Amino acid sequence: MAAQGAGAPALAVRGLRKSYSGRTVLDSLDLDVAAGEFVAVLGANGCGKSTALRCVVGLETPDGGTVLVHGREVGPAGDAGSAELRRRTAMVFQQIHLVRRRSALDNVCAGALGRLPLRHSLTPALFPRELREEAMACLDRVGMADRAAEPAGRLSGGQQQRVAIARALCQRAEIILADEPVSALDPAAADQVVSLLAELARDQGLAIAAVLHQPALAARHADRVVGLVAGRAVVDAPASRLTAADVDALYVPDLRLTHLEAS
């Protein structure tokens, strides 16, 4: 295990490799996200963005490389010693996994199940009062406190994504990885949710990486942009300095090849 490093980024991914049926999807990928930083991950369809995030949270097993949380190496899925490090990382998906018939508040409380006895997961009525208060504060943080009692299935897509983010907050995650969190939302709702992620990073010191398909949203809200081509980071730049050439390097097929060869 690597030693806990003072000043280590909240999340450090080093040399991550993954192949499916002999086809390389992640090719020695490096990615750092600091506490308080919002990183947008860009890249064309199939370049490995989701696979990278899934490997980091243990939903996929990488073939090689290391994932470090605050300088401590995360072991393979199922490694008891790494459970606490994994709990510090939450994932938010495009397909919002809320229990539709349960209230927004109950869904947010579910973020805490990893640290509660099993019986609580079976009976939301047993959620302790302190947890309900914490969940309410999380809903308030994402601007959804007034909809706490509403069944999640009755909320709009943008509202449901806010509830999913509140659930990650209630997990007390310090690192949030969001895989295309706004791809199903209209432009205004997408802007609001990405803006919320940026605020959470800035105001609560969270380390947040979000896969986005809209370079303009990344440029407007992110601190830094990491761009992938064929499973490798070929762009890593402050969002304020993202150029049209950077964007072309990620999405224009011929330029993608040129940048890959140069990297």
Ligand X SMILES: Nc1ncnc2c1ncn2[C@@H]1O[C@H](COP(=O)(O)OP(=O)(O)OP(=O)(O)O)[C@@H](O)[C@H]1O
- Taking the least distance from each CB to ligand X, the nearer of 43 and 158 is 43
CB of 190 to ligand X, least distance (A): 15
Residue found under tokens 């762009």: 235
Among 12, 16, 25, 166, binds ligand X (CB under 6 A): 25
Report the C-alpha gap between 208 and 194 in whole angstroms: 11
- Taking the least distance from each CB to ligand X, the nearer of 111 and 231 is 231
- Taking the least distance from each CB to ligand X, the nearer of 8 and 208 is 208
Contacts of ligand X in 92-151 (CB under 6 A) = none
Report the C-alpha gap between 212 and 59 in whole angstroms: 20
Q: Which amino acid type is present at position 154?
A: R
CB of 183 to ligand X, least distance (A): 8
Residue found under tokens 């993954």: 18
CB of 182 to ligand X, least distance (A): 13
Contacts of ligand X in 31-60 (CB under 6 A) = 43, 45-51
Report the C-alpha gap between 39 and 221 in whole angstroms: 9
Interface with ligand X (CB under 6 A), residue total: 10
- Taking the least distance from each CB to ligand X, the nearer of 50 and 159 is 50
Residue 110 · residue 193 · CB < 8 Å: no
Burial class of residue 89 (count of CB atoms within 10 Å of its CB; 0-12, 13-18, 19+): buried
CB of 251 to ligand X, least distance (A): 11
**Nearest Cα residue to 128 out of 113, 149, 140:** 113
20 touches ligand X (CB under 6 A): yes
- Taking the least distance from each CB to ligand X, the nearer of 48 and 58 is 48
- Taking the least distance from each CB to ligand X, the nearer of 112 and 222 is 222
Ramachandran region, residue 150 (left: φ > 0; alpha: ψ -120 to 50; beta: rest) = beta
Report the C-alpha gap between 113 and 121 in whole angstroms: 6
Report the C-alpha gap between 252 and 259 in whole angstroms: 11
CB of 87 to ligand X, least distance (A): 24
CB of 201 to ligand X, least distance (A): 21
CB of 232 to ligand X, least distance (A): 12
**Nearest Cα residue to 11 out of 29, 31, 39:** 31
Report the C-alpha gap between 101 and 59 in whole angstroms: 26
194 membership: H or E segment, kind and range = helix 187-204
- Taking the least distance from each CB to ligand X, the nearer of 213 and 220 is 213
197 touches ligand X (CB under 6 A): no
Q: Which residues bind ligand X (CB under 6 A)?
A: 20, 25, 43, 45-51
